Amino acid sequence: MLQVKLDTGFNIEVDFLIPTFFRRFFAWVVDLAIIIAYYLVGSNLLARALGPWESKIWIWVLFGLPPLCYHLCCEVFLNGQSIGKKATRIKVISADGGQPSISQYLIRWSFRLADFPWWVLGAVTVSALPWWCSVFLFSGLASILATPYSQRIGDLVAGTILIDTRNHTSWEDTVFTELANDYKPRYPQVMQLSDKDINTLKTIINTVSKNGDYDLSMRIADRIRSKLGIASDQDSLEFLQTLLKDYNYYSTR
C-alpha cells in the first residue's frame, strides 16, 4: 500500500497510508447507492404527495439539490468523509496534513464532474464513441493511477489527499492544533521547551480533558511556570492549552 510522509512543522513526521483504488471505488459505490435510494424513495413520495410532478421545474431543482451537494456537505460536516468514505475508513486531508479549508472542499467538489468514474460507462460504450471522448471518460482514472499519491484532478487542484484512517498514527496524536487566523500568542517562553516536553504536554492535556485529573494539570502548570518564569492568571488547564497553541503559532512562523 502506498504511503505518504507529512511533516508537521514540529520536527515530527507522520506516515499516512494511501487507500487502494478498490477501497476508493467501493466508497464511491456506497455513496452512489445512497443517492440512487434517495431518488427512488423521494420520487415515490413526491408522486404520492403531489401526483404527476415531472413537468414542474422547481420541484426538479429542489429535488436535485441534495444529491448535487451530497459530497460537499458530507466532507465539510463529517470531517472530510462521506458515508461511503466512513464505511471504507478513508478521509480527505489537506496536503500539508491539516484539516482542509472550506475553499479546498469547494474546489475539490467543483471538479467532481471531471473526476466522476466515467470510465465505467466508457468501458461499455467506448467503441460507439469518437476516440477523443476517451480522454474525458478516463481522465479521473488516469489521474489516480498516474499521480504519486493517487490524487484525482480535484485533489491536485485543491491540494488535498485521501488517506487510510485505519493507520494508527493520526494527526491528532501529534502536537498539531488548529489556530484562528487572528490568534495572538501570550507566552513566547514556550519555545524554551523541547519537542519531548511539548509532546508530553499534549498527552497531559488529553488525559486531563478525558479523566478530569485537574490535580495533575495544576502540578504540571506550576512546574512549567517555575521553569519558564511565567506569571499567569489562567487556570492550569487553560494555561497548558495556551502553551500548546503558542508553540503551534511560533513553530509555524
pLDDT digits (tens, 9 = 90+) for 23-61: 988 998 999 999 999 988 888 887 777 777 666 777 777
Which cell numbers in the block locate residue 119?
A: 470510465
pTM, to two decimals: 0.61
**Residue 175's pLDDT band (boundaries 50, 70, 90)?**
low
pLDDT score, position 48: 79
Query: Among residues 140, 174, 152, which one has the least CA distance to residue 244?
Result: 174
- Under 8 Å CB-to-CB from 8, ≥6 apart: which residues? 14, 97, 171, 174, 175, 176
**Cα–Cα distance between 192 and 181 in angstroms, integer?**
24
State the Cα–Cα distance between residues 232 and 29, nearest whole angstrom: 54
Sheet holding 13-17, edge to edge: 3-7, 13-17, 160-164, 90-94
Instruction: Name, of 11-25, 50-64, 135-149, 235-249, the range with top average pLDDT.
Output: 235-249
What cell does 38 get?
Answer: 434517495
The predicted model gives 4-11 an average pLDDT of: 52
Query: Residue 90 forms beta bridges with which residues?
Result: 164
- How far is Cα 107 from Cα 237, in angstroms, rounded to an integer? 38
Q: Average pLDDT of the chain?
A: 79
Asked if residue 127 lies in contact with residue 137, where contact means CB atoms within 8 angstroms, the answer is no
- As a whole number of angstroms, the distance between CA 133 and CA 126 comes to 8
203 or 45, higher pLDDT: 45
Residue 7's pLDDT is what?
54
pLDDT grade for 124, boundaries at 50, 70 and 90 = very low
